[in-house]
Chains A and B, each alone.
Chain A
Amino acid sequence: MTHVVEVNGLTKAYGDVKAVNNVTFKLEADKIYGLLGSNGAGKTTIMHMLTAQQFETSGTLRVFGEHPYENNHVLQQVCFIKESQKYPDNYNVRDVLEIAADLYPNWNREFAMSLVEDFQLPLKRNMKKLSRGMLSSVGILIGLASRAPLTIFDEPYLGLDAEKRQLFYDRLLEDYAEHPRTILLSTHLIDEVGTMLEHVLLINRGQLLLDEETDSLRGRAFSVSGPAVAVERFIAGRTVIDRQQLGGLVTASILNNPGSSSGQSEAESIGLAVAPVSLQQLTVYYTRLQNRDTSSNKGAK
């Protein structure tokens, strides 16, 4: 089958600096992907290239089987909502929504209007006068109501409070269930969206570190907690990715060694409390691991 997105050796270089370095991945239809990574990792650049708003230095790029540059067949199937989106100053919310309705073939007016109410958006207010949170709400609204086969959200909720963010997740999942599409979501609030993501792409320093189903990624690690002595004895010889102590109580996150069986039942048998490790912890671990490797490599040179 053809993939919604196929990226091969994608690179974006600014002089010597490679913002995106030889990235290869594929997105399947009707799945929710998380594009994770720290600031400046290259997430936004990748998303811009997917929509031909920036140009790749090298590598190949296929969206719905074609290159997106100046390609209406591709572009009208993609809705890209970014935190930094600029709107004309003198356009009000209604203007922007009408234009979006004009542009996206699957736009649903009723859904859009219900979202206007949910997010309490003032239709007649100029975009220039919206608060940061309202501006984000407009983006989210367009991203949802456009029902584009490929919907890309890049940090869509700057300035949004927890209640509105939850509203976004709820509406997204509800609508996704009825109208499946491919969603690529980039965010820093990993634990908030962790349960939503089916597949994770982790980017650091322009390189792709992980490209894995969320469940299998979670299965790689677990955390144990209990009295310090018992925990210390248990974690000896295991890969510890995080360790926290509170009084005599230690919580340690452990990465399963490849090939060996998971130590969860063993931990339970000696009376330690076992819990899953959050996606956020795992991404932080892998990101730090790469940062350490690259800096120690530099030291060796």
Chain B
Amino acid sequence: MNRTSTVVRMHLRKKLNWLLVPVAVLLSSFIINVLIGAFTDDPIYTGGLSSIFVYMMVMGIITFAQTFPFALGMGIRRLDYYRGTFATGLLTVLVFAVFLFLMSMTEGKWTNYWGVRLHFFELPYWSDGPIINRLWIPFVLLLNMFAAGILIGTYYRRFNKTGLLIGALAIVLLGTIASFVIGLNDYWTNIFNWLQDQTMTGLALWTLPITLLFSAVSYLLLRRCT
């Protein structure tokens, strides 16, 4: 009996939460934009697309907080829980990436920006480069957001409110020190130059090692979660 697949089945009992809710949130924002587009002559560029990325992180946090205590109580190994949860996340992210790809193609290639000059799924810079970018870039970014959500969830479970507060303070402190050091050495120009040189492809690739790091750290935290 494979208990990792049991965990996947456990999550997929609530397909609605995994798939329909984020798509519904995204589409409601989209429809409002289409309506606005119908009444204005100017082209609209909107960041409504970001909702699904934010949702994916929230999904990671909530899923963990809701299902981990239950799974542990039901005698599921932490490793099985981890694998099953990431597998479900991967599956969801894949579905969303395909969805975003199709919507982007529909918007830019197959309809003329929905006939209302709305740029919702196909945006400058974001959709630059070969067509396949519109599939894998959302995929790796969504995955990164999900991993970040799981990391926050495991960190909170392991270290509680005080831990979360200390962690947040530490990040703020490190950020302040870092920006001070950067400012002191006049590195800001270099950093912005580097960022300007990056394409969407480059940035998306940079998330991969970060996603890997998030996943590894959350697994190490999970192994000590009670």
Chain A residues close to B by CB (< 8 Å): 48, 51, 53-55, 70-72, 75-76, 78-80, 82, 85-91, 95, 98-100, 102-105
Contact = CB atoms under 8 A, between A and B. Distances in A.
Interface of B: 1, 3, 6, 9-10, 13-14, 17, 66-67, 69-70, 72-80, 223-224, 226
26 contacts: A53-B73, A53-B226, A55-B224, A70-B223, A72-B77, A72-B80, A75-B75, A75-B77, A76-B1, A78-B75, A79-B75, A82-B73, A85-B69, A86-B69, A88-B66, A90-B14, A91-B13, A91-B14, A95-B13, A98-B13, A99-B13, A99-B74, A102-B6, A102-B9, A103-B75, A104-B75
Chain A binding surface, main DSSP class? loop
Contacts of A70: 77-79, 223
B55 to A, nearest CB: 16
Chain B binding surface, main DSSP class? helix
A86 B10 contact: no
A87 B70 contact: yes
Nearest to B63: A88
Nearest to A49: B226
A89 B69 CA distance: 12
Contact of A80 (B10, B17, B73): B73
B75 A54 contact: no
Contacts of B1: 76, 105
A192 to B, nearest CB: 25
B77 A89 contact: no
B30 to A, nearest CB: 25
Contacts of B17: 90
A280 to B, nearest CB: 29
Contacts of A100: 74
